[in-house]
A = this chain, B = another copy of it.
Amino acid sequence: MTVSNVINDHPHVRRATREKVLEAMARLDYRVNAAARNLRKGRTGTICLAIPQVNSPYYGRLAATIITAAERHNLRVSIKQTDGSPEKEMEALSLSRNRLYDGLILSVAGMGQADAERLKADHPVVILGDRIFGGPVDHVAMPNLDASRAATRHLINRGCRRVVFLCGSLEEVDTSSLRLAGYRLALEDAGLPPDPALIQQVGGLGMRDGAQRAREMAESGLEFDGVFCVTDSLAMGVLRGLADAGVRAPDQVKVIGFDNVEESEFFIPSLSTVDPDHDGMAERAVDFLTRRIEQTEPSTRHEEFVGGFSVVTRESTGG
A residues adjacent to B (C-beta < 8 A): 31-36, 38-39, 42, 44, 46, 53-57, 60-61, 63-65, 67-68, 71, 76-81, 94-95, 97-100, 206-208, 211, 236-237, 239-240, 243, 262-263, 265-268, 270
Q: Which residues of chain B come closer than 8 Å to A78, judged between CB atoms?
A: 46, 76-79
Shortest beta-carbon distance from A236 to chain B in Å: 6
Give this chain's copy count.
2
CA distance A262 to B265 in the complex (A): 17
CA distance A76 to B76 in the complex (A): 13
Q: Are B268 and A31 in contact, with the CB atoms below 8 A?
A: no
CA distance A95 to B98 in the complex (A): 22
Q: Are B237 and A32 in contact, with the CB atoms below 8 A?
A: no
Name 26 interchain pairs, CB-CB below 8 A, sorted by A. A31-B99, A32-B98, A33-B39, A33-B98, A33-B99, A34-B95, A34-B100, A35-B38, A35-B42, A35-B100, A38-B39, A39-B39, A54-B67, A56-B60, A60-B60, A64-B81, A76-B80, A77-B79, A78-B78, A207-B266, A208-B266, A236-B263, A239-B268, A240-B268, A263-B263, A267-B268
CA distance A34 to B42 in the complex (A): 10
